[in-house]
Amino acid sequence: MGLVGRHELRALSARLSRWQKLALGLAVSFFVIYATAPYDGALRAFFRFQQSQATNFYQSQRPSDGWLYRRQRYPIDLDKEIGLIIKTGYGTKHRMPLALRALSNESFFPDTIVVQDFPVIPEQKRYNLTNGKEVDVIDILGWNLDRGALKGREHLERIYKYKNLREAVEAEEWVLSEGLGKAIGWELDAMKFLPALEYAWNTLPKKKWYIMVDDDTYVIKSTLSLLLGHLNFGRPHYLGNPVGDYKGRFPHGGSSVILSGATLRNLFEWSPEVVAQAHLESPYAIWGDKLLATSLMKIAVYLDETYRRFFNGEHPWMTRLWIDRLCLPIVGFHGLGDKQVMEQVGEIFKDQEGPVLWSSVPKIYGVPDYQTFMDVPIRPNMNYVGRLDEQSTTVEDVAKVEDCLDICDRHSTNCMAWVYDPNSKRCDFAPWSILGDLADGRFSGINGKLGKRLTDRCHARPGAALRRGR
């Protein structure tokens, strides 16, 4: 540092009070500690979580959808530039033909890989999308084990369980295989995430985006096109529906997980030691989606919660239509394991024009619109709230249903739906609504005024913007 620089520092120091010097010293110390902390350390995780919470609160207070309909800077061809990975297990393998057919209904034909926890059986060799495009099927646990990625872990209980299942399938002992598949499926699923992505990176390299879903998940093509066309695939992106505490936020696997090609490059080409360690940890992991998240944290790739409002972890009738996302598109649905439900969803959404907004789901399923709830606010034998959680509110000792309706009116900015039980005299309300569930003896309704006011603010969806994403 030159003489002039030293004089300026002395002059600045002389002007600062003792407390200002102390504050400056603490700020500099904190910056140094934070900058040198591990990427996956508790300090970084804590402040990252607080930042996400602040951003989430701001977005909930000022929801915006206008940016979606501006010119896309990174338009993509979904069929050529996306790698789709579908996870399945022996106990749920019957879902795969239905899931592939449902996705194909939207003319969605990406390069697709099915990863599973048992050897490929003869009928699986016929997996195709409806346009004839072949689907690669791989026993991902066998692949990972046979190539030595789990060396030194072969003696562990979970590996033994996988081997027992593999031997039963290879011996065509179908009853035993079915029992084992159902009993240990969740354990084996935790070991699929990292090797599934690594296999996809090896066999489908240079894709702009990679999407991982479960065999009971349905993704909406138009939403993917609209959202991903605004994101730079050349930068590390990691998107999904966040769950977990600040120590390890991770996207719920069933809601779908989206990663840019840059993320997989950084992980599998530039950080092989992180990948190797994650494989060795997988036989102990409870959740594979969390293991993926904590592995990415080590290379400074974190779940981006900015786009959390696009993701949904429920089937249509239990989907929560939150106040702060009505104008945004919905990525898809989860929990469609029932044959009839998956077929129905595939048929319903194959002819939808443009992105499917959260607010358009009720209309698609023939549920009364917000105006009808303004005209007839109380509906008997119904529940429009659904499952309660920490963000719902319960009021006890409510004398009659009209009082519950009044309570919702008094909380008009955060009550989207309410339900009243006359037997317990309990009133529940929440900042979301569902399509409606039968509930004998209860009364329920939706805040039609709030819903209409929010949806009236949604931006128009210009056709040109939609065409660019196709």
Strand order in the sheet with 379-383: 379-383, 437-446, 417-421, 426-430, 393-395
Name 229's Cβ contacts closer than 8 Å, sequence gap at least 6: 72, 73, 74, 75, 76, 468, 469
Q: Is residue 339 part of a domain?
A: no
What residue numbers bound the domain in which 242 lies?
78-310
Q: Could you give the CA distance from residue 380 to residue 445 in angstroms, rounded to a whole number?
A: 9
Residues 82 and 22 in one domain: no
Residues 24 and 90 in one domain: no
Tell me, what's the pLDDT at 470?
Answer: 39
* Cα(183)–Cα(423) distance, integer angstroms: 40
pLDDT surpassing 60 at residue 34: no
> Quick one: 31 and 158 in the same domain?
no
Find out whether 170 and 148 touch, Cβ atoms under 8 Å: no
pLDDT in tens, 238-250: 999 999 877 778 9
Phi/psi region, residue 346 (left: phi>0; alpha: psi -120 to 50; beta: rest), is: alpha
Q: How far out from the chain centre does Cα 79 lie?
A: 21
Cα–Cα distance between 8 and 354 in angstroms, integer?
A: 61
How many structural domains are present in the chain?
3
Q: Which two tokens stand for residue 50?
A: 């607080």
pLDDT, tens digit, 9 for 90 and up, residues 136-179: 999 999 999 999 999 999 999 999 999 999 999 999 999 999 99
Cα 64 to Cα 68, 124, 242, 302: the distances in Å are: 9, 44, 20, 23
Residue 383 placed within a domain: yes
- In tens, the pLDDT along 332-380 reads 999 999 989 999 999 999 878 778 999 999 999 999 999 999 999 999 9
Last residue of one domain, picked from the residues 310, 334, 352? 310
- By the 10 Å C-beta count (0-12 exposed, 13-18 middle, 19+ buried), 361 is classed as buried
Asked if residue 337 belongs to a domain, the reply is: no
Least confident of 34-48, 115-129, 167-181: 34-48
- Does residue 230 fall inside a structural domain? yes
* 333 DSSP β-pair partners: 218
Query: What is the DSSP annotation of 197-215?
Result: HHHHHHHSTT-SEEEEEET
The Cα 219–Cα 333 span in angstroms is: 7
Strands 332-333 and 218-219: antiparallel
Could you tell me if 295 and 373 lie in one domain? no
Residues 103 and 163 in one domain: yes
How far does CA 457 lie from the centroid of its chain?
A: 26
Weakest-pLDDT range from 24-28, 287-291, 369-373, 406-410: 24-28
Do 221 and 92 reside in the same domain of the chain?
yes
Pick the residue with more confidence: 449 or 459?
Answer: 449
Indicate whether 105 and 205 sit together in one domain: yes
pLDDT 10s digits, 193-222: 999 999 999 999 999 999 999 999 999 999
Residues 306 and 371 in one domain: no
Structural domain includes residue 263: yes
Q: What is the pLDDT of residue 466?
A: 40
Read off the pLDDT band of 25 (50, 70, 90): low
Instruction: For Cα atoms 349, 353, 354, give the angle at the middle one, nearest 5 degrees.
Output: 105
Judge if 296 and 376 occupy the same domain: no
Same domain, 280 and 375: no
Q: Is 171 helix (H, G, I), strand (E, B) or coil?
A: coil
46-49 long-range contacts, CB within 8 A, separation 24+: 46/246, 48/246, 48/249, 48/302, 49/245, 49/246, 49/249
CATH number at residue 151: 3.90.550.10
108 and 21, same structural domain?
Answer: no
Is residue 46 in some structural domain?
Answer: no
In a domain, 239, yes or no: yes
- pLDDT of 21 reads 61
Q: Is the pLDDT of residue 26 over 90?
A: no
Phi then psi for residue 331, to 5 deg, are: -70, -35
Q: Is 96 within a domain? A: yes
> Residue 67: which residues within 8 A CB-CB, separation 6 or more?
230
CB 207 within 8 Å of CB 82: yes
Average pLDDT of 397-414?
Answer: 97
465: helix, strand or coil = helix
Statement to judge: residues 104 and 6 lie in one domain: no
